[in-house]
Structure 1
Amino acid sequence: MSFSISPFSTPSHPLAPYGWDDGWAETFAPHAEQGLLPGRVVRVDRGQCDVVTPYGTLRADTAFVVPRDPMRIVCTGDWVAVDPDGDPQFVRTLLPRRTAFVRSTSSQRSEGQVLATNIDHIVICVSLAVELDLGRLERFLALALSSTAGAALLGDGARPVGRQAPRAYEAQPLVLLTKADLVPDAITLSHLVEDVERIAPGVQVLPVSSATGEGVDVFGAIVGGGTSVLLGTSGAGKSTLANTLLGEDVMHVQGAREVDGKGRHTTTTRNLLLLPGGGALIDTPGLRGVGLWDAETGVGEVFSEVEELARQCRFHDCAHESEPGCAVLGAIEDGSLSARRLDSYRKLLRENRRIAAKTDARLRTETLREWKRRGAEGRAAMAMKRGRTL
């Protein structure tokens, strides 16, 4: 079987609805010359993935791209090169990721977990059926605002870090306050929106209701271009909202527990779905934990007012605890900054630095191990040249 894929995209290209553009075509050109087929991963499950290609969806094995680094595992949203002649068919390589939403796998480990890639909108769903957890939302926002190319892994394994990373592509965060129909009155809803806007500078906050349709049209227009990922805890209404946009019950839905309003895990895999009005949507399982991963940039943006105040402190290394001339403590005293906000800022910074320190240590260990392996191979090669073995 042979395929001829033009390296240039057009609006009528079969993969255009999934986000294929001239940039992806140019990146893929060397693989096209090798007879490989472009495709986008729409689902991953136990070492295999569903890949949509110009000639339909196929099931491909990921054995050829299983790396040591879990950050490079095939993920929903990835663009890949597939061998069309294989039996079974294999994903041969990942194209460099433009953006990625990454969290740490556990507070006890130094590995990151990629939840979605090549995304244009990160939609954080927060249910209004329960009390707002502003601290959790700040955590989501810090990760979302860090999910640019700086948080993405490149195809060759390189990983730019922090503010040194290129920002050619950015995923725009959006906060959805779901189940807005459960709020008793418009004034209360307006106050809730204002509370969230205060901790989400520059981020659009939109109340929506799948039951009444409030805000759904506006949300549909926002995600109508590019790829969006829905994130949030179980019971936040992600799958219900996805079904509303899709116009059919594609995602299975269960009701939230009446005791505490928390949801049951109904979505078990990350699925990329095309929206009737344009764009693509990645629905994800509910997240119990959201550990930070390389999120220093995002923390700084979420708490921009704290960092601006810190620059006005008398001492450049002010810890904002009891130092004279501390602008941060002054803002807390006059009520312009809440103590909760400062505590949250400190907590996220500490966590991110702890993860970064662990990551650096792990990378140093892996590098040392690789040097030792290469040294052993070099000594063995020299011994063979001299006619002996080690």
Structure 2
Amino acid sequence: MSKNNLYNIGLSERFIQEAEMYDSNLHLARVSAQHKDMYRVITESGEIWAEISGKLSYSASVSADYPVVGDWVLVDRIDDNNGYAIIHHILTRKSCFERKAAGTGQERQKIAANIDTVFICMSLNNDFNVRRIERYLAIAWDSMAVPVIVLTKSDLCSDLPTKLKELESVAIGVDVVITTSMNGDGYTGIGKYLHKGKTIAFIGSSGVGKSTLINKLLGEQVLVTKEIRGDDKGRHTTTHRQLLVLSDGGGVVIDTPGMREIQIAGADLSRSFADIEELAEKCRFRDCKHESEPQCAVKKAIEDGTLSVKRFENYKKLQREMVFEVRKSTLSAAQAEKQKIVDMMGSLDAQKQVVKGNRKNKGKR
């Protein structure tokens, strides 16, 4: 691959200018896969193995400080004929899709970096879930990439108009593309998003057809695929994130393992729930909680059927998750858990009154 062809996989002037701030003997490369402590990177000479430098490893305090698929990095060589390349620097990410890492800690897990478009894939069978789409949209907007909803397996759906109607109220300002693997032109709708230098990340539950779709774009069976189970649930096939180059200057795609339940690390609710945010502006009180306050525009919209109760409940749920994540980032784990209990049971003063009352009643017995 010539240096000019690095532009085909996303290289831009902003990365070149940043790279010039470092040692001129280092070379630009893009991370295409990660295997434990080893990485595959694409240089101007092709795809090679690399590992991070001791200095970079020492300065990394959390997993998010390490390279992720899609990162532009600086390496000490463009081939691995004389040993693995060494990654010395990670260039500033223009976008990053992330989620809260598994467990109860505060760490965030970077899924992919420097993405232009996020394909939120959902199959039109039993996997279809508008509440999950709302969650994905909130995280996708927060990543600084543009989300597109890709509905797969339309051949398995007998009520497509109904499902599209459900999406209308949640996919505000978001393109929706319908695909099927049953005929050769079932993927033509996504062609307009494939361009030289552009990066598309595929996310969604296991078995929704991400790998099948990517294989179709690649023109060959590169990724392993499996049929859905008898209970209409998807089978997990992708085990790690990887960046794949499309032919004919079509940019690159990033495949990710299935994520059925995704915990929020950051979310843009103002974009994904723009309808509720706009209604809230019309409430009588600026700090309206949309519960028992008079002249609440949100409550009125629910009453007259223009706003779904389930959509509003999901909005509140994501709000609570966001608040809790912010608190955890500023408080210790013990303090955050204590605050969570306070929120659930009322103010501390109210709790003290309950304790005081219990002691008083106990003394009268």
Sort the TM-score into its range (normalised by shorter chain): 0.7 to 0.9
2:230 aligned with 1:258: yes
Please list the CA deviations of residues 343-389 of structure 1 after superposition, one character each: whole Å capped at 9, or x if unmatched: 010000001111111122269x9xxxxxxxxxxxxxxxxxxxxxxxx
Structure 1 stretches of 5 or more lacking a match? 1-10, 149-170, 366-390
Q: Aligned partners of 2:233 and 2:191: how far apart in 1? A: 25
Counterpart amino acid of residue 204 in structure 2: G
Report what 2:134 is aligned to: 138
Structure 2, unpaired ranges of 5+: 336-365
CA contact (8 A) 2:179 2:189 kept: no
Corresponding residue to 1:190 among 161, 171, 181? 161
Aligned to 1:373: none
DSSP-derived class of the 2:142 partner = coil
Q: Alignment partner of 1:343: what SS? A: helix
Q: Pick one of 319, 326, 331 that aligns with 1:356.
A: 326
CA contact (8 A) 2:207 2:237 kept: no
Q: TM-score, normalised by structure 1?
A: 0.79
Alignment of 1:371-382 (within 5 A): none
Give the TM-score taking structure 2 as reference length.
0.84
Whichever residue aligns with residue 304 of structure 2, its letter is D
Aligned to 2:147: 173
Indicate whether 1:309 and 2:279 are aligned: yes
Superposition RMSD on alpha carbons, in Å?
2.0
How far is the alpha carbon of 1:32 from its aligned partner?
5.2
Tell me what 2:361 maps to: none
- Cα distance in 1, alignment partners of residues 190 and 110 from structure 2: 25
Report the secondary structure of 1:75's partner residue.
coil
Counterpart residue number, 1:388: none
CA contact under 8 A between 1:43 and 1:271: conserved in structure 2?
Answer: yes
Q: Secondary structure at the match of 1:74?
A: coil
Q: Which residue of 2 aligns with 1:240?
A: 212
Correspondence for 1:73: 66
Worse-superposed segment, 199-208 or 320-329: 320-329
CA contact (8 A) 2:120 2:202 kept: yes
Match of 1:228 among 200, 205, 211: 200
Who is 2:251 aligned against? 279
**Contact 2:154-2:180 within 8 A present in 1 as well:** yes
Contact 1:39 1:51 in 2 (8 A): yes
For 1:84-233, list aligned pairs within 5 A: 84=77, 87-106=83-102, 108-130=104-126, 132-148=128-144, 171-184=145-158, 188-225=159-196, 226-233=198-205
Matches of 1:74 and 1:124 in 2, distance apart? 23
Structure 1's 203 and 219: CA in aligned 2 closer, same or farther, altered over 3 A? Answer: same
CA distance in 2 between counterparts of 1:224 and 1:196 reads 27
SS in 2 for 1:13: helix
Partner deviation per Cα, 1:169-224 (whole Å, 9 max, x = no partner): xx11100010011123xxx3233223213201000011111222455122022133
Match in the other structure for 2:41:
51
Q: Is the 1:197–1:203 contact (alpha carbons within 8 Å) kept by the matching residues of 2?
A: no
Q: Per-residue deviation at 1:69?
A: 2.4
Specify the SS of the correspondent of 1:103. strand
**Cα distance in 1 for residues equivalent to 2:220 and 2:233:** 24
Matched residues in 2 for 1:213 and 1:346: separation? 42
Q: What is residue 344 of structure 1 aligned with on the other side?
A: 314
Identity %: 38
Q: Distance in 2 between matches of 1:341 and 1:217?
A: 31
The residue that corresponds to 1:41 in the other structure is 31
Paired AA for residue 224 in structure 1: H
2:22 corresponds in structure 1 to 31
CA distance in 1 between partners of 2:85 and 2:219 (Å): 33
How far apart in 2 are the matches of 1:131 and 1:32?
A: 49
Q: Helix, strand or coil for the counterpart of 1:14?
A: helix
Residues 3 and 44 in structure 2, CA contact (< 8 A), matched pair in contact too: no
> Is the 1:193–1:207 contact (alpha carbons within 8 Å) kept by the matching residues of 2?
no
Q: Distance in 1 between matches of 2:23 and 2:320?
A: 46
Is the Cα–Cα contact under 8 Å of residues 43 and 49 in structure 1 kept in the other structure?
A: yes
SS of equivalent to 2:284: coil
CA contact (8 A) 1:270 1:283 kept: yes
1:380 maps to none
User: Whole-Å Cα distance in 2 between the matches of residues 212 and 352 of structure 1?
Assistant: 42
Mapped contact 2:40–2:50 kept (Cα < 8 A) = yes
Tell me, yes or no, if the aligned pair for 2:151 and 2:177 is still in contact at 8 Å: yes
- Deviation by residue 1:133-175 (Cα, 9 ceiling, x = unmatched): 1111100000000002xxxxxxxxxxxxxxxxxxxxxx11100
Distance in 2, Cα, partners of 1:211 & 1:360: 51
Q: Distance in 2 between matches of 1:338 and 1:213?
A: 38
| 1:21 CA displacement | 2.2
Which one of 14, 17, 37 corresponds to residue 5 of structure 2?
A: 14
Whole-angstrom CA distance in 2 between matches of 1:112 and 1:141: 18
Please state how far the C-alpha of 1:131 moved relative to its aligned partner: 5.1
Question: Post-superposition shift, 1:63?
Answer: 4.5
- Pick the aligned partner of 2:241 from 264, 267, 270: 270
